[in-house]
Amino acid sequence: MSTSKKSLFTGPDGRSLLFTFILVSSLFLLWGVCNGMIDVMDKHFQEELSLSKSQSAWVQFAHYLGYFLMSIPAGWLAIKLGYKGGIIAGLLIVAVGGFWFIPATHINAMVHDGRVSPATAFGAFLVGVCAIAAGLTFLETIANPYTTVLGPKQFAATRINLAQSCNGVGWIFGPIIGSVFFYSKNAAGQSTGSQTLYIPYMGVAIVVIVLAAIFFFANVPDVKTEDEYHLEENGGDAGKEEREIPRGLVYALLLFNTTILICACGMILWLVLQTVGWQESTVNTVMWVGGVVAIGAAALMLIPKARRITHHSIWSHPHFSGATVAQFFYVAAQAGIFSFFINYMTSEVPAIPQSWNTGFAGIAASAGPLRDWLSGWFEMSKSGVLAISDKGASNLASLGFVCFLAGRFSGAGILRKYSAHKVVGLYGAINVTLCFLIFLKLGWLSVVCVFLSYFFMSIMFPTIFALGIFGLGPRAKRASSFIVMAIMGGAILPKLMGFVADKFDMSRGFIVPMVCFVIVAFYGYRWPSFSKAESLDTVKVSAGH
């Protein structure tokens, strides 16, 4: 088949699906902006509410909690409503979350009057973060697999990476918007971020309402996909295929996914018990004992479950269940690096030469409309040396996302020539090396490695997604919801990264994403044996599928 641009978006009936692809790609831009703002919000709350790095990571927890809670309902509604109905539902939920930031800002204003506590104000913002994430769950659960079916299957990874490139564009603008509204100051040099934080979210709410109306009137076909593994068939050679299911591997992956679910529920319970006033030592004891008991019980209960799983279950295919594990650890690494980028840039970067500050001040003085954006990038640290300010680091995050976007675009081209699983394995291994160099605190080399990690993370999420739902046919929508649920890794492990950073320093915290990338690389290199396929093109029938 021709590899022309047109062939990327040619449907089974020969019609072009390019317009549909462009429309769906706008959703990726939307949640890129939302995620980009989330990633620079932690430092704002650390300063405004005197939170530690570990405490501020509750922002990520609330964000990914929305994904965790809504991923299964989103998958169910995608089946019931189709792609179009699920997308509209998700957009409306995002609008509700965006408008919630208006009353949340009023609640935060009561902190200064002593009418509410900082914890209450923080919680009000977290509700909005969680609500927006719940809506984004619908969009990601539906839009990610939808892009893979809008053309020939061998270009599925290319299409999803092209769509995710729009996500990368949104991620560039998200931190810039955050720097303007989260880290703004008045003429007296006092922070006004708490008063203006709601503005970009109100704008998002208005935009998604307009998008919902466009999708309502647009043609969004419900494209059917090929059932490579014959999951929908009964009888025939099913008995032979069932005997070849790797029971031990299936059991291990089921137990691991169940453990992730237990840990996520445990964190929710931990937060509830803390909120109602339980002592921290008591809560920690309950969590450890309850966690061990729950995981032990799950290990016993899953033994007969694994034996009963047939070839017709998506869980009998390790390339899918392994994708949920790989996605959990990838998103954990991504969320940790993105969330603590500002902390790293303001605390771990070597001393800034005074000439840099002078040069920026000179540019700002003559830049006209850019004056507010360029001024204030540097400030004197507590140790008396010139360092990057919170605002400067927030703007530098956009440079990181430029690297991320460059990786997406170049990755889309690379994936047209090389097997997707090999690219995931290679990029994962490179990120292991980069995180280790950051951990070693090698000055400017480590700083450069942070930006390079953005580049080599770029293709991982969409490519793992495409690898995970490969060949599942109509059940890809259900499989998609479980892979989206694995995004909960972004809620759990950043707290561990923040804990390590609080105990040691931000550089040492990169040991956490380093371990995560080891698991991602392993999945990439082992995908052919998991899927019994040589690449995303075909399944090797002789291998038992």
Q: Give the domain CATH number at 533.
A: 1.20.1250.20
Instruction: Tell whether 4 is covered by a domain.
Output: no
Domain interval for residue 523: 14-220+247-543
Instruction: Tell whether 152 is covered by a domain.
Output: yes
Which of 41-55, 70-84, 117-131, 439-453 is least confident? 41-55
Instruction: Tell whether 9 is covered by a domain.
Output: no
Higher per-residue confidence, 25 vs 351: 25
Domain count, the chain: 1
% of the chain residues with pLDDT over 90: 12
pLDDT at 133: 85
% of the chain residues with pLDDT over 70: 74
Cβ partners under 8 Å of residue 111, min gap 6: 117, 118, 120, 121
Instruction: Tell whether 490 is covered by a domain.
Output: yes
Instruction: Tell whether 272 is covered by a domain.
Output: yes
How far is it, in rounded angstroms, from Cα 427 to Cα 445? 19
Higher per-residue confidence, 204 vs 385: 204
Burial of 518 (0-12, 13-18, 19+ CB in 10 A): middle
Instruction: Tell whether 150 is covered by a domain.
Output: yes
**Helices and strands per DSSP (H, E), number in the chain:** 22, 2
pLDDT confidence tier of residue 62, bands split at 50, 70 and 90? confident
Q: Which two tokens stand for residue 88?
A: 């509209």
Cβ partners under 8 Å of residue 288, min gap 6: none
Instruction: Tell whether 3 is covered by a domain.
Output: no
Instruction: Tell whether 229 is covered by a domain.
Output: no
Higher per-residue confidence, 543 vs 483: 483
Phi, psi of 312 (to 5 degrees): -80, -5
- Core vs surface per residue 274-298: b (16+ CB within 10 A) or e: eeeeeeeeebeeebeeebeebeeeb
pLDDT tens column, 442-495: 989 999 999 999 999 988 988 898 888 877 766 666 777 778 777 778 777 777
Q: Would you tell me how many other CB atoms lie within 10 Å of the CB of residue 236?
A: 9
pLDDT confidence tier of residue 538, bands split at 50, 70 and 90? very low
